[in-house]
Amino acid sequence: MKQLLLCLLIFCSSSLLAQDSVHIYNPAASAKQDIKAAVSKARKEHKKVFIQVGGNWCIWCIRFHDLMDHNDSLRKIMDDNYVTVHLNYSKENKNEQILEELGHPQQFGFPVFVILDAKGKRIHIQNSGDLEEGKGHSPQKVALFLRKWAAFHS
């Protein structure tokens, strides 16, 4: 019994340490400037802007990031069609003003995705829960979502 408790304690501790070492989101970043730069790049490259709102504290945000990082098909769809911004939401910086301007996407939980056209106009807010399957996000559902909004013309 003691060995089981010790193993559980070690596993939980290592999971927390690993989560603390993740740096996908930058609490000190200027979300407004990052989005402005992404819109400018999207306009030049004829793409949309994909804003992933979340935080380094969010396991589902990390899982989504890992899926996008390790799935070549999804990464290609993203690279071909979107300029990505990781917008931080944490106790250090909730980015409340920019989230208000984006239509309060945090109401859906985290991560939440916001799609902007190449002019910076919000065209969609996506609840990531709709893309989940099991303990992660479904590659098929994510691909359908990304393709749908990449093809959308505003």
- Domain for residue 126, yes or no? yes
Non-local CB neighbours of 57 within 8 Å, separated by 6+ positions: 19, 90
Q: Are 25 and 56 in contact (CB under 8 A)?
A: yes
Q: Are 128 and 108 in contact (CB under 8 A)?
A: yes
Give the per-residue pLDDT at 14. Answer: 41
Q: Are 10 and 71 in contact (CB under 8 A)?
A: no
Give Cα separations from 8 to 21, 22, 47 (angstroms): 20, 22, 46
CATH number where 91 lies = 3.40.30.10
How many domains, in total, are found in the chain? 1
- Domain for residue 17, yes or no? no
pTM of the model: 0.86
pLDDT digits (tens, 9 = 90+) for 33-66: 999 999 999 999 999 999 999 999 999 999 999 9
- Which structural domain range is residue 55 located in? 23-151
Q: Are 61 and 19 in contact (CB under 8 A)?
A: no
- Domain for residue 107, yes or no? yes
What band does 96 get if pLDDT is binned at 50, 70 and 90? very high
What band does 1 get if pLDDT is binned at 50, 70 and 90? low
- Domain for residue 127, yes or no? yes
Average pLDDT of 11-36?
76
Starting at the edge strand found earlier in the chain, the sheet holding 122-127 runs 82-88, 48-54, 112-116, 122-127
pLDDT digits (tens, 9 = 90+) for 101-149: 999 999 999 999 999 999 999 999 999 999 999 989 999 999 999 999 9
Dihedral pair phi/psi, residue 115, rounded to 5°? -105, 130
